[in-house]
Amino acid sequence: LASNSELVVMQAAGMSRLQIIISVMKTAIFMALCMMALGEWGAPAAQLKAKEMRNHAIHGGDVFNAQQGVWAKDGNNFINIEDVDQNGVLHGVNMYHFDKSLQLTQITKAREAVSRKDGWLLRDVNKVQLGEEQINTQQQDEEFYDSQLTAEKLGVVSVKPESLSFTGLWSYLGYLKQNEQDTSTYELALWRKIMQPVSIAVMLLVALSFIFGPLRTVTMGARIVMGVVTGIVFHLTNEIFGPVVMVYQIPAIIGATLPSIIFIGFATYLLNKRN
């Protein structure tokens, strides 16, 4: 439209820049909603399935993911893990010990498990031994569990915060707060997911400001280059602000929204400059 001066004709016919921008934004909102739906239901399920297939190919299916967390088989023991964080620490560990005749003999619960050489160090351990005539319980601060189950195997099914759905992030944030753990990484991922439609609209607004402003009469190649550069700068700004807000303990909402606010101001400046 800009190359053929059709935008000029539309404005001469009485259509304001704001009306043109709103018309384009309607399409952007629809695209943003489609992306949100894909990110909420499509992408997490697809990634989970891909990780399960990769795990089956590498480890023969000894480790798999389910709605109840990660399940792993270690000899005659079956282990359920609520979460594997990015540091390889296991949270909410439930171990079910079976004898050779596949009779349940012991249940071990631990708040977390840290990888050690040739096994795992369990913390806040609660053990229930199931005897033929009685049940014994035992509590320990720490206990070493000798295992061939490595952090690398469990890492196959761990999910990055950015890959979780909105509901998954919200649920896991509640779990972390309940256990008094650091939530900054997941709060930032949650706010970035909320701001994703806004980011799309902001980038479109910047593109429109270029069309109405300094790039109205330049070649298509120059516009493509400027668009790519602007997108890279916006992405880098997002990536830089994320670690900064976590290091200085700034609220995650600021790290997620500030790049968009900066680019909105930049686009507004370009639009007003032409006026």
Q: Average pLDDT for residues 152-165, to the nearest whole number?
A: 65
Q: Does some domain include residue 57?
A: no
Which range of residues forms the domain containing residue 215?
6-43+164-274
Chain mean pLDDT for the chain = 80
Shared domain for 169 and 261, answered yes or no, is yes
Shared domain for 39 and 70, answered yes or no, is no
118-142 per-position pLDDT tens digit: 889 999 999 999 988 889 999 999 9
Q: Does some domain include residue 104?
A: yes
Shared domain for 171 and 39, answered yes or no, is yes
Whether the full predicted model's pTM is greater than 0.85, yes or no, is no
Q: Does some domain include residue 254?
A: yes
Boundary residue ending a domain (118, 148, 178): 148
Quote the number of domains for the chain: 2
Shared domain for 34 and 78, answered yes or no, is no
Residue 225 near residue 160 (C-beta atoms within 8 A): no
Q: What percent of the chain has pLDDT over 70?
A: 80
Looking at residue 230, its amino acid is: T
Q: Does some domain include residue 248?
A: yes
Q: Average pLDDT for residues 190-194, to the nearest whole number?
A: 90
Shared domain for 134 and 169, answered yes or no, is no
101-111 per-position pLDDT tens digit: 889 999 999 99
- Reported as a pLDDT band with limits 50, 70 and 90, residue 58 is low
Alpha-carbon span 148 to 163, nearest angstrom: 28
Shared domain for 189 and 263, answered yes or no, is yes
Tell me whether residue 33 is exposed, middle or buried, using C-beta atoms within 10 angstroms of its C-beta: 0 to 12, 13 to 18, 19 or more.
Answer: exposed
